[in-house]
Amino acid sequence: MAGISGRHFLTLQDYTAEEITAILDLAAALKLKQQQKIPHQLLAGKTLGMIFEKPSTRTRVSFEVGMWQLGGYALFLSSQELQIGRGEPIKDTAAVLSRYVDGIMIRTFAHSNVEELARYATVPVINGLTDLYHPCQALADLLTIKEKKGMLQGLKVAYLGDGNNVAHSLMLGCSKLGLHITVAAPQGFWPREEVRSKTEQNALLSGGSLTVTSDPLAAVKGADVLYTDVWASMGQEQEKAERKKIFAPYQLNREKLSLAEPEAIVMHCLPAYRGEEISADVLEGIQSVVLDQAENRMHAQKALLAMLMG
């Protein structure tokens, strides 16, 4: 697969609108092939090393099964099993793994770890999640929105809750492709200024826009897409009780859904906590697309793997 072959995938900011669109188009094509049981072993004989410093359900299964469907092999590597967990420099791990595998996916805490891994690896490095970004999730989100709405440009997306890694990548992805995104969060939990600045620059080129507000009702008014995430991410468990109080007005529920467009879709990257960031009736309601969204992690990542490692 020409175009982005051999590149790292650390953040959507590193990719053009055309490149992101190409990934989404291939993802849709590979999803159709999988549904029709048409073999598509684009990575036959290729191996992906998967480093997990944070546990995961969707990330591990979607990458592992995706690689198998592409004809390749995915190797699970927990930080406890690697010398990196015992103090081996990241650059040494990157150099050695590059001699064994054709690509590396890492799910970790500090974004600087992924950047250092990419600096010293000679094979593509994929960010499976850091505290700053979750770009593979954003690819799945955009694929899902395009499937459900038939388009991306000009749609209004409302994100409610913590201005976290999911929000950051969603902001970058939406602004690259011309969507209007509003992030509603309590002050003190807004997205990082550096990401807001990049998002605004992207929007100037694409015709999209970014709004950051503390008013959740204003954010959801007329929205085509309503999105939320957990209020306390991994590593923030001690803050959970305090965050529940602070974020309570931002729960995605029937009241907020009623203010959106009648055909609005509801999204959540999962895992979800019913009665906290989202009410059970909305999560499981007819406008919810969370299971399609979760499935699309695999299809989006398959396209990404095929284009980077093919």
Does residue 107 have an active-site annotation?
yes
**Of 13, 229, 251, 301, which one is the catalytic site residue?**
229
User: Of 13, 69, 137, 301, which residue is the catalytic one?
Assistant: 137
Handedness of CA 46, 128, 292, 138 (dihedral sign): negative
Task: Indicate which residue of 134, 180, 196, 299 is catalytic.
Answer: 134
Query: What does the alpha-carbon distance between residue 126 and residue 114 come to, in Å, rounded to a whole number?
Result: 8
115: enclosing H helix or E strand: helix 111-120
From the candidates 13, 58, 102, 107, which is the catalytic residue? 107
Name which of 271, 229, 233 is nearest 59 in CA terms: 271
CA distances to 47, 140, 195 from 229, rounded to whole Å, are 32, 15, 18
Q: Which one of 111, 251, 269, 299 is the catalytic residue?
A: 269
229 among known catalytic residues: yes
Please name every residue paired with 210 in a beta bridge, in sequence order, or none if there are none: 181
Q: Is 35 marked active-site?
A: no
Question: Strand, helix or coil at 157?
Answer: strand
Q: How far apart are CA 254 and CA 59, in angstroms?
A: 30
Active site residue 180: no
**Secondary structure class of 266 (helix, strand, coil):** strand
**Whole-number Å distance between alpha carbons of 176 and 207:** 9
Three-state DSSP class for residue 286? coil
Catalytic residue among 8, 58, 268, 297: 297
For residue 256, with 0-12 CB atoms within 10 Å meaning exposed, 13-18 middle and 19 or more buried, which class applies?
buried
Cite the active site residues. 107, 134, 137, 229, 269, 297
